[in-house]
Structure formats: structure tokens, C-alpha cells
Structure 1
């Protein structure tokens, strides 16, 4: 975090207003509230994983066993089961 002199960066009228509240001290001005992109939203990874998870659930509904899904998607049994349970829950809410 760098410090800047208010008289170098602020309009004179704003500087005078700030001097009514604080003079000669350091003040922190927070960044504007930003909405950060969630994990994988900018590069498409999130959508790719969602498509894969829906495919896993669709195949499971159509009779694929967990063992077959493990071999097909190269995921652990625990991961496959978590995907099935989570996707089933999402489908039930819709």
C-alpha cells in the first residue's frame, strides 16, 4: 500500500472538506466494492465441470454403475458418489 499526498491527487474543494475532519494524519481509503468472479467462471472451467457432473448423473440414472463411472471419468469412488448426491439434490430443487 503506497501513501500519496492529498494535495497531489485530490481536487482542492475535496481536500478542504477532508481537512475539516482530519489534518496531517494517515487515512485509509478502501477500494470500491468489487464483485469478483467465482472460481473457474472466467476461463470456463466451472461450466466444463458442471457439464461433466451432469453427464455422470445422467449415465448413473441410465444404469451405469459407480465402478463404470470411475473407469470412464477417472475419478475416485468418493468423488463419483458426491457428484451423484449433489446433482440429484440440484435436480430435485428444479
Structure 2
């Protein structure tokens, strides 16, 4: 996390207002929500998981058992159930 002296970037009037609440401490100012990227959107992780889950649903619809899928994908039976019974892939 990068720290910047408030005097270098904020108007004095705003600094005086902030000092009404906190002085001499480090505070974190988060990004606006619209600036956040959703998990995995930059790395491709989300897309990979969506592709994997679609393949699991497809295999389940084509008569692969939950136990077979758990072994094949190295996932727990409960995780496979969540994937195949969710409505995300419909």
C-alpha cells in the first residue's frame, strides 16, 4: 500500500475538516466501487472456473456420476453437487 502526505494532494480546507475526526494517524481511503475489478477478471481465473464448471454440468447431464466427477476434477462431492445443482449454467 502506498502512503502519501495529505498536504501534497489535498486542499488545506479538506485537511482541516479531516483533522476534526483524526490527526496524526494513517487512514485508508478505498477506491470507489466502480473502480474494482471482479475476482479473476484480470487473471482469467473466473473464466477458467466457468469453463470447468460448464464441463462438469455437461458431463453430469450426460450420465457421469457425482462421485466420478469428484475424482476426475479432484473436488469434493459437496463441491460437485453445488456446481451441478446450481442454476448458474442454465
TM-score (norm 1): 0.65
Length, aligned pairs only:
77
Whichever structure has more helix as a proportion of its residues is 1
Give the direction of change, closer, same or farther, for the CA distance of 1:25–1:68 in structure 2 (3 Å limit).
same
Summarize the alignment of residues 1-94 of structure 1 with structure 2, pairs less than 5 Å apart. Answer: 2-4=5-7, 22=13, 25-27=16-18, 33=32, 34-86=34-86, 89-92=87-90
Give the direction of change, closer, same or farther, for the CA distance of 1:48–1:23 in structure 2 (3 Å limit).
closer
Whole-Å Cα distance in 2 between the matches of residues 23 and 50 of structure 1? 45
Structure 1: any 5+ residue segments left out of the alignment?
none
TM-score (norm 2): 0.67
Q: Which has the larger radius of gyration?
A: 1
